[in-house]
Structure 1
């Protein structure tokens, strides 16, 4: 059974889990899309090959050999006698010196490596899906912001046109409002093209991924409140959990175990396997018959010693790769955790800034309608509001992506290890 996260870690990471369906695709669709990925299918094929190789290791490399010899005998004593003779032998090498047990352990290590490699392929594919999904989400957020800006610009153009007909505005203001409306329409067209391209890439990489949900909801997604920053020991425990349950680390660990088993097995090859057999011989036309047992034993050579030394060096290299993966994953967690905290704080700050700027824009619009300010001032405030709203939505989606990425790497989101 997969170890569970401590309660405090689950509470820390899953603060917004109840709202996950509002911005993530359904898990069933994700699983289907991942399983249909060519990368995952290739990993499954490689795992089947690993299974076959493991079965071969358990069976052993030795085969039974049948040998048949036919010969003619001439007697040179003046009698001119000739005899047909022959021999049949059956031989088979024996796995001794604990090699059968070592091969079984090597087969188990091979299977474990293939299984973790297949899990790692699914996890990496899920990472790619998550990245493309949030790219589409950000593109949708940008398109929604551009659509809101275009609607606001159109409303402002209508207000200015009414004021122009009433004689409360100059022709210049109407032209400025119309130009602002055209600019917002151009921005909306560009945002729609970007969203279409992001969705097209998502669908091309993962065909059939919930087509009815690929365009995120029209309403902005509410970002869950960030949890309280945990104490240092808590983060340390989470960091250890992140490393120890990472597929990259598990794969390096499995490869290290495989290299150690291979080194032990190669070391046993310094003791050659004997070959035993039985034979039956017919001589002098069947007048003489022989039966016996044969035994052959290769003499050890320097080649066997060098192979064992090379396998031991490979095991040392695998150990170093595991240690390097541990350090790299620790640094990766530190970066992800720092980015998550920073992006959550940025999203909250952008939300406050957007709320204040929206209030300021409303007051500026009321002042413009009342004739207390000019259109230039209102346009300046509206442009700042447009930038603030876009920044708020992008910051929210980036914080959601960081949170989802960390939960995915901690196997609390879309876990494929089962």
Structure 2
């Protein structure tokens, strides 16, 4: 491709959405395919589980206990008196020491982690869809190049056959042209099989997407400057947001576990009937577990888990920064390669046209023409693949920047 002129760059910025539709699947189809993914459905189920656990945290683990007791009393004083007696009590542990507020914060963190995990599942599924889509697109480009080569070989064989009948070509040249035609047909059959396999995998994993188009637009402009994009890439990444949410969840869990070092008291009321109802009692009960080394160990373990979550968040931040650097270098390198390949195709096509005119005029042999045509075929295929790789790098970066197929809503 030719370098973008300023006017072209402005036009591409205004028509970015239209360009995306030319080589990417429609967004509505993408969203439908992602939502139907078993991975996303499993993440949604996990999010519903997180919501239920959050409701349980807010309600608290304690339950009201109703206790009933019956007994018979025998009096051994010679009278043989017997009495029926019983007791009924209602007890409930109390969440004290700020545990109720800590449980509410833990519930909010649980909900946030479940939400980000569901968003991350959609984003990862979209990444897989994008990779399979461009794999099918590249296979289609190889198939299209093979089809063009086969058509050119067929036309060349036809020209050589006419020259043979006119006495301007030797039988050897006709045989070479026929062999070249057969070779191109074999390459076309192989490319069609590879394209069908890539398309079958895409449609099996994500039904309803259809097939990528053969034509590709010019490369869009870069999404921005790397310094500003790097910070956006890290801060908006679902891996980072999920690690951040898990860190917050671990910190709140550590605080909640630390509060468990103070046991919850159990308060109850009871009523007792003795000596057949002749004596009645009513009272209040209070029980308090004594702290143990187990509670201290649980608090220390939760604090260690929070430290581990902090380290995982820092590791994710570094990894994502390095990931952006790789994606940016790939994008710029592939763009430069695509532009260079386009220039090579322009020069190689001119050389092939001159070689064909020379062959038709009888000024050169078929071997020279075939060599030039093969070089043109290789250059055309390399240019198509380079452009598709540049478009994939651009789409992948825009997807991670939430400029393409944003599922956070």
Taking structure 1 as the reference length, the TM-score comes to 0.93
CA RMSD of aligned residues (A): 1.6
Matches within 5 A, 1:141-290: 141-209=141-209, 211=210, 214=211, 216-218=212-214, 220-224=215-219, 226-227=221-222, 234-290=225-281
Q: Which consecutive residues of structure 1, in runs of 5 or more, have no partner in the other structure?
A: 1-9
Q: Matches of 1:264 and 1:217 in 2, distance apart?
A: 55
> What are the equivalent positions in structure 2 for 1:7-406 lying under 5 Å apart?
16-209=16-209, 211=210, 214=211, 216-218=212-214, 220-224=215-219, 226-227=221-222, 234-406=225-397
Shift of 1:79: 1.5
Deviation larger for 11-20 or 265-274: 11-20
**What is the aligned partner in structure 2 of residue 5 from structure 1?**
none
Residues of 1 paired with 2:70 and 2:244: CA distance?
A: 55
Structure 1 residue runs of 4 or more that deviate by more than 6 Å after TM superposition? 10-15
How many Å separate the matches in 1 of 2:395 and 2:95?
52
Query: CA offset at residue 246 of structure 1?
Result: 0.3
> Counterparts of 2:21 and 2:320 in 1: how far apart (Å)?
29
Residues 131-188 of structure 1 show CA distances to partners (whole Å, capped at 9, x for unaligned) of 0000000000000000000000000000000000000000000000000000000000
Contact persistence 1:13–1:403 (CA under 8 A): no
TM-score (norm. length: structure 2): 0.96
- Stretches of structure 2 lacking an aligned partner (at least 5 in a row): 1-9
* Alpha-carbon contact 1:357-1:388 (below 8 Å) kept: yes
Q: CA separation in 2, counterparts of 1:191 and 1:198?
A: 11
> Is 1:416 matched with 2:381?
no
Alpha-carbon distance in 1 for matches of 2:360, 2:12:
48
Residues 123 and 407 of structure 2 are in contact (CA less than 8 Å); yes or no, is this contact kept in structure 1?
yes
- Structure 2 CA distance for partners of 1:126 and 1:377, relative to 1, 3 Å: same
Q: Report deviation, 1:326.
A: 0.4
> Secondary structure in 2 aligned to 1:290?
strand
Cα deviation for residue 75 of structure 1 reads: 1.1
Shift of 1:383: 0.4
Deviation at 1:18, TM superposition (A): 3.5
The 3-state SS of whatever aligns with 2:168 is coil
- For residues 207 and 399 of structure 1, the distance between their equivalents in structure 2, rounded to whole angstroms, comes to 26
Question: Could you tell me whether the CA contact under 8 Å between 1:262 and 1:311 is conserved in 2?
Answer: yes
